[in-house]
Structure 1
């Protein structure tokens, strides 16, 4: 998995025999123990480990819930109630899974904004970044499919609205729609298809995550300064330095996650989903989960149905082109004073789109959504190319070590500033 030299040396005869036939321990050692990481990484770099922990939580709880779930329109809602009321700790598993989806997206959005701020998409990490965008697309598909499974009012009508807009796609739209429906409208065949895909996609995500980690260990990690490792003093071993930080951050995030499970388990959901699906009664206000709201706002900002669908999908796909749209040679926005202001404006606009997606599509909300949608795309298509050409970046540090200690200071082999390892001797 790692492009770096394997320093693992087996000591026992059994270990040597096993390593000569399947160098698994050496692979783990070179990738997660001796792997060099920049010494200036901050806690934003722990969200990769947090996301892996959340993915495993979702897979484990999902498998357990699937043992008790009935994917039929007649019984799906009641099977969820059965899980909540009759299955031992079923309420805990369901709340972990439902709120885990939201926590997964909290972590992934922080991870994505960090990559955009620090330029982690630039050469030689383009493939690493594109794999991340693919994971995000698979996450969105998995979350949408899972949202329909409780078969409450919001699940049913959310599935109806989203699958209906696919029919606007020329040539293939109606075919895709009928394949998803399994008939002429959303019903039991639709639910069966969605359940099967929802069960399959997390394992596809896991496979792409393995490729993502592999690509990371080939190119090495980016860092807040955005400069490469130039000497051994710029890096520290992954274990224990990065491992301890990852474990600590994962525990803190787990406490945050536990708060939502035990104190606000239904806050991020919708009350209408506790009402059985009814095709004859339309909810007053159909909204998706909060993590889809920015794209839902973009969809509704365009009066033309096909145009809205194109822009909604383009808002995700355009992320994959960031390595080529950004013309600056400097990675980190810490050293790009003009781009940094535009980046934070982009963050505010994205959050504002999320808020607008939860509002009725009328009056000033639509106008604001159109303005925010325009800036969303202008950020990638205009701001990133032009600012990179005309901006004068601040002076970069000469090395990662200098970004930590400041110019002119050295670090001894112990990781302490040179001369600080031992106090000077004095007489008498």
Structure 2
């Protein structure tokens, strides 16, 4: 009963979640939040964990795009010297993406949110130590205002607007952000003409497609996220 609604909210909620994450990163870059190095670096680790959770979750519907997306992405690990093939077979639970892989990805999708929760607490603890950044650049306590009610109501309004759009999308156009190919049950004998990820992973897909060498593409993809950790060192403004 209403399982379809729960599934639609969960599926589209991932897209809304990544919209918030990318806006949060953009705001951090614009206002110089990266100067709080510990908070910023924990945030980058959180980004990795969230991306991993979203990827393993995308495999769970076990449609064509889920199956072949898992096949392509996990095969990238085979480029790791010495350990690559062993690591891929360990993740698969066999010699190809199969039911054992699905079971393992379900376990990862269940366990990773607990790691995300732990990292989020650490993220907030560091934020509490340093204080949150602000667009005005005010650092003195006399110029500050209480969080409640000035910001709590503002955050609550933003949350309500976000939930409104999520419910509207989930009820009226639940497949707007999905791939029609994923409605076809997984078939290892039929490869889809175009294998592409969800929109929030398109930047990674573009990097991998633009570099012919498999290992080079993986290193570039990893660097595209890890470069966020180097931004504090690149900051030259006083």
TM over 0.5: yes
Per-residue CA deviations over 1:256-283 (Å, capped at 9, x if unaligned) read 2122111110011111111110000000
Q: TM-score, normalised by structure 1?
A: 0.55
Post-superposition offset of 1:241: 1.2
Q: Which residue of 2 aligns with 1:309?
A: 218
Separation in 1, partners of 2:166, 2:233: 36
Q: Which residue of 2 aligns with 1:164?
A: 75
Higher helix share: 2
Separation in 2, partners of 1:314, 1:197: 24
Q: Which residue of 1 aligns with 2:12?
A: 99
Q: Give yes or no for the alignment of 1:251 onto 2:168.
A: no
Structure 2 contact 138–144 (Cα < 8 Å) conserved: no
Separation in 1, partners of 2:76, 2:46: 23
Post-superposition offset of 1:101: 0.5
Q: Give yes or no for the alignment of 1:175 onto 2:71.
A: no
Q: Which residue of 1 aligns with 2:24?
A: 111
Separation in 1, partners of 2:17, 2:157: 17
Match of 2:112 among 172, 184, 201: 201
Q: Give yes or no for the alignment of 1:239 onto 2:152.
A: no
Q: Give yes or no for the alignment of 1:89 onto 2:5.
A: no
Q: Which residue of 2 aligns with 1:279?
A: 188
Post-superposition offset of 1:322: 1.1
1:167 is paired with a residue of what secondary structure? helix
Match of 1:296 among 205, 208, 220: 205
Give structure 2 stretches of 5+ with no counterpart.
Answer: none
Separation in 2, partners of 1:282, 1:256: 34
Post-superposition offset of 1:171: 2.0
Match of 1:230 among 119, 128, 140: 140
Per-residue CA deviations over 1:134-190 (Å, capped at 9, x if unaligned) read 111000000000000000000000000000111011122222211111111110111
Q: Give yes or no for the alignment of 1:149 onto 2:60.
A: yes
Separation in 2, partners of 1:222, 1:146: 33
2:145 is paired with a residue of what secondary structure? strand
Runs (4 or more) in structure 1 with deviation over 6 Å come to none
Give structure 1 stretches of 5+ with no counterpart.
Answer: 1-87, 330-428
Per-residue CA deviations over 1:363-387 (Å, capped at 9, x if unaligned) read xxxxxxxxxxxxxxxxxxxxxxxxx
Per-residue CA deviations over 1:276-299 (Å, capped at 9, x if unaligned) read 100000001000111000111011
Separation in 1, partners of 2:165, 2:235: 35
The count of aligned residue pairs is: 238
Post-superposition offset of 1:228: 4.1
